[in-house]
Structure 1
């Protein structure tokens, strides 16, 4: 008998339209979930006991698809034209430096920057995925590429876990590509995970390094074990493309949960999940 998928512990519904990005803000004083929508608005949901209510909507007057990465308290990494990534200072609002792959004498055009991942490692490595299917491991201290990994399809998302020193690439195919970052900072392809349907738009790693989640174009959220890379659950709450998945880094008191997962996408709802926390 097939195991039925679990139900979400809560679903946030409003007039948000497609939701492209999520973020938790958890402190002793507030428990907020921010939802950035395609219409340029940011909806702020407040946990009131075990319920969530829409607290505020902010119109940013901006619509875009590129994601930035936080590098330090002052520096964020932004995709730029010509396959470049810029390090922008929030203090001066100027670029401190730019990572230009042409300096590394790339033998072919790389196309657009598709994804950036700060590995949060002492060796100053960040990962940049390009439209060409190439993944670069950049040493941001020396501003040079130390390793390349070539894949056969345009990467849509990339994530990395610094406990396992392992990363996952999602793309338009029915495969998740798995790679390792070895002690010499070389990217090494490990294996591929086959999915039932094609297209992965987002991958999220839980802070405790036990599981990761892949959001698909089919509206499914697939949960995998980091240790074994085996599938654990397929969540079918959403009706269309999943755009973002996040985990809370702090305990959410409203649900007594340290690793609350939130998922959102084209259908305009945000689902909250309590999975594998025992």
Structure 2
């Protein structure tokens, strides 16, 4: 394995020790990185100056677990204690438009459904709620209570809409990965995976996903043409106690694993060949994101940002 590259820059500011979520906001006018921390503050970094431009806070120390940008350019913030905040842009400022309490305390990240103008949120009793960003109500739920094994599912750990035929993947604490049809509110397939799964990502072009858990294993799975979930292979990570985040780069060439020991492990996505281990962080990685547009300030077509439990964001121009 070749020597790992160095980060392009390290962003350090008055962020909380725990930085949970990142979001690139890149367009013709701005090149920003949003970072949500454990105190509930969203730090807006200007990548042209590598300085904090602005900060948003709810005043309640309610940690930011995920950040979304909608087609209407709203900013959606999922907070730890079952709250979703919707911010509207007012000239150069953000104004809190609506705060929705969906009454479920969970660290599972919400997911955006842009075609429905809604987001997926975890609910109690292993259910998934579809929260409308128009009415601000839970319009429907994916309820597994009728399944014979529903009592063994446990807490929702991670989920991802496939943006294909209203399909969504949901993984549960007990070690079950379910493929849901949102239109029919029905489970099309299930797959047994490691208990205490923490994260997964999925590539629709290959119909292939990768899942990490509280173990040294990465599990590769497929969705077959008949919508059946199938295990493909396993990658063993040496001396890694667990994986907290997985992210497939937008060009589908790389997959990144952020681990509990602070390492960031890079693999080629199609052949799953190990490429590098980045050790800039010394404690658990919480989020890894890629820009979907060129970042002129860093002179790269795809910038990677990683953060975790050390009040620092590392910026990487990697294998471009």
- Cα distance in 1, alignment partners of residues 228 and 303 from structure 2: 33
Matched, 1:34 2:76: no
CA deviation after TM superposition for structure 1 residue 267, in Å = 0.7
Q: Which residue of 1 aligns with 2:209?
A: 167
- The structure with higher relative contact order (CA 8 Å, sep 6+) is 1
Deviates more, 1:252-261 or 1:134-143: 252-261
Q: Is the 8 A contact 1:175 1:198 kept in 2?
A: no
Matched, 1:179 2:178: no
Matched, 1:243 2:243: no
Q: Which residue of 2 aligns with 1:100?
A: 143
Q: Which residue of 2 aligns with 1:56?
A: 54
Matched, 1:140 2:182: yes
Which 5+ residue runs of structure 2 have no aligned equivalent? 64-79, 81-106
- Where do 1:115-134 residues align within 5 Å? 115-121=158-164, 123-134=165-176
Deviates more, 1:89-98 or 1:100-109: 100-109
CA deviation after TM superposition for structure 1 residue 3, in Å = 3.3
- Where do 1:79-94 residues align within 5 Å? 79-94=122-137
Q: Which residue of 1 aligns with 2:277?
A: 234
Q: Which residue of 1 aligns with 2:319?
A: 276
Q: Is the 8 A contact 1:104 1:144 kept in 2?
A: no
CA deviation after TM superposition for structure 1 residue 107, in Å = 5.4
Q: 1:205 aligns with which of 233, 236, 248?
A: 248
Q: Render the CA deviation track for 1:38-68: whole Å, top value 9, x for unaligned.
A: 11111000122xx411111111232313310
CA deviation after TM superposition for structure 1 residue 158, in Å = 1.1
Q: Normalising to structure 2: TM-score of the pair?
A: 0.83
Backbone CA RMSD of aligned residues? 1.2
- Cα distance in 2, alignment partners of residues 209 and 138 from structure 1: 24
CA deviation after TM superposition for structure 1 residue 162, in Å = 1.0
SS for the counterpart of 1:254 is helix
- Cα distance in 2, alignment partners of residues 250 and 102 from structure 1: 41
- Cα distance in 2, alignment partners of residues 114 and 78 from structure 1: 11
- Cα distance in 1, alignment partners of residues 47 and 310 from structure 2: 22
